[in-house]
């Protein structure tokens, strides 16, 4: 039986000057066939070098600190954005980009990719590209001498450590007056949440609110102690979870009486295949906070209470082989989350 839990933050990290990364593709987390994820930390001034991903789009969520991204579109347009905790970015597959820590504290963010086979170790990096190309070609391309090419890195840098950017470094042809919501940045933390009294809250961003994010959507769930994100399924997407704080139980139903129930804590990731029934219950004493990513730009969910409440009571009595007294206690409207 596959496990739908992986202890991402307990994985041995890749540590280089400027940053730390831990990743889980389908190789490390066999259940996660449709989505891969990375937990990355950048030191102040730390740079995830200029790079691109050939087989996946990237959706990022900042947990701590601040960072700056740069991005090049195929049409030649370029973009520079800054991100704070609760902000989301999206980079389409193949678009060149970089990420740099710009605050005086570590920047920690979660990256979600819409391909379970994705791996950060197979990213196309600019230093690796240049180091793998004949020196005379590099010299011609960059307008420098062969001797100067020899001063460039001989292999992939991946992370680099530099000074924390100052205001002058933000000025470029790509810079415009700052806006709350730009083409590649969505301030999810600033969104007014969906509130369920006693149950918790949900903030969601889809391609409707964030048009560039055509292949991915995401939510942040906060569930009160004892609260339940009710039994439901997603007909259009796999679900990838990063547990930010608290403790939880997550159950996955795979049909034919096959189920997997596991316990989660901060730093763990979970996965639910498209169409599989599941729930998340807060089993701790504090608010449970979960980042949820989907490999589709639209958010779709079918919740148990919504389904039951749209059927005639007589039909439910027949379906469950139960009397009117019991069926009358079933939900008569959509709950989404339920208090203890």
Annotation marks residue 122 as catalytic: no
Q: Any residues with CB less than 8 A from the CB of 190 and at least 6 apart, and which?
A: 86, 180
Catalytic residue chosen out of the listed positions 22, 41, 68, 120: 120
Query: Quick one: CA dihedral 167, 173, 179, 183, positive or negative?
Result: negative
Catalytic residue chosen out of the listed positions 53, 184, 185, 229: 53
Annotation marks residue 340 as catalytic: no
Annotation marks residue 120 as catalytic: yes
3-state secondary structure 190-218: HCCCEEECCCEEEEEECCCCCCCCCCCEE
Count of H helices and E strands in the chain? 6, 26
Annotation marks residue 334 as catalytic: no
Catalytic residue chosen out of the listed positions 41, 97, 232, 278: 97
Catalytic residue chosen out of the listed positions 22, 41, 51, 184: 51
Cα–Cα distance for residue pair 80/172, rounded to 1 Å: 9
Instruction: Give Dmax (Cα) for the chain.
Output: 87
Q: Which residue has the tokens 């639209």?
A: 298
Catalytic residue chosen out of the listed positions 22, 41, 43, 48: 48
Catalytic residue chosen out of the listed positions 43, 49, 58, 224: 58
HSE-CB of 63 using CA atoms within 13 angstroms: 19
Annotation marks residue 58 as catalytic: yes
Q: Which residue has the tokens 């939510």?
A: 219
CA 51 remoteness from chain centre: 19
Q: Which residues are catalytic?
A: 48, 51, 53, 58, 97, 120
């Amino acid at each position: 039986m596959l496990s739908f839990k992986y202890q991402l933050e307990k994985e041995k990290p890749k540590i280089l000057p400027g940053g730390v990364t831990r990743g889980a593709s389908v190789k490390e987390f066999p259940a996660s066939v449709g989505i891969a994820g990375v937990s990355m930390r950048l030191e102040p001034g730390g740079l995830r070098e200029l790079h691109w991903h050939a087989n996946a789009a990237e959706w990022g969520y900042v947990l701590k600190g601040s960072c700056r991204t740069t991005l090049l579109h195929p049409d030649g347009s370029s973009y520079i954005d800054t991100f704070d905790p609760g902000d989301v970015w999206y980079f389409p597959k193949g678009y060149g980009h970089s990420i740099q820590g710009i605050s005086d504290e570590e920047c920690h963010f979660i990256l979600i990719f819409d391909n379970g086979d994705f791996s950060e170790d197979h990213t196309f990096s600019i230093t690796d590209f240049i180091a793998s190309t004949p020196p005379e070609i590099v010299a011609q391309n960059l307008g420098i001498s062969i001797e100067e090419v020899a001063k460039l890195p001989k292999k992939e840098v991946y992370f680099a450590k530099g000074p924390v950017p100052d205001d002058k470094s933000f000025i470029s042809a790509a810079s415009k007056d700052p806006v709350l919501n730009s083409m590649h940045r969505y301030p999810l933390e600033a969104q007014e949440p969906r509130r369920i009294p006693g149950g918790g809250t949900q903030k969601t961003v889809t391609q409707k609110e964030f048009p560039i994010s055509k292949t991915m959507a995401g939510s942040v769930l906060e569930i009160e102690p004892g609260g339940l994100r009710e039994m439901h399924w997603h007909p259009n997407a796999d679900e990838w979870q990063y547990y930010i704080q608290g403790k939880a139980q997550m159950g996955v139903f795979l049909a034919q009486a096959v189920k997997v129930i596991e316990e989660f804590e901060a730093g763990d990731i979970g996965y639910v295949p498209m169409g599989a029934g599941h729930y998340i219950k807060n089993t701790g004493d504090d608010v449970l906070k979960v980042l949820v990513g989907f490999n589709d730009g639209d958010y779709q969910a079918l919740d148990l209470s919504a389904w039951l409440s749209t059927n005639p009571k007589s039909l439910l009595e027949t379906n469950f082989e139960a009397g009117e007294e019991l069926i009358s206690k079933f939900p008569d409207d959509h709950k989404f989350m339920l208090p203890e």
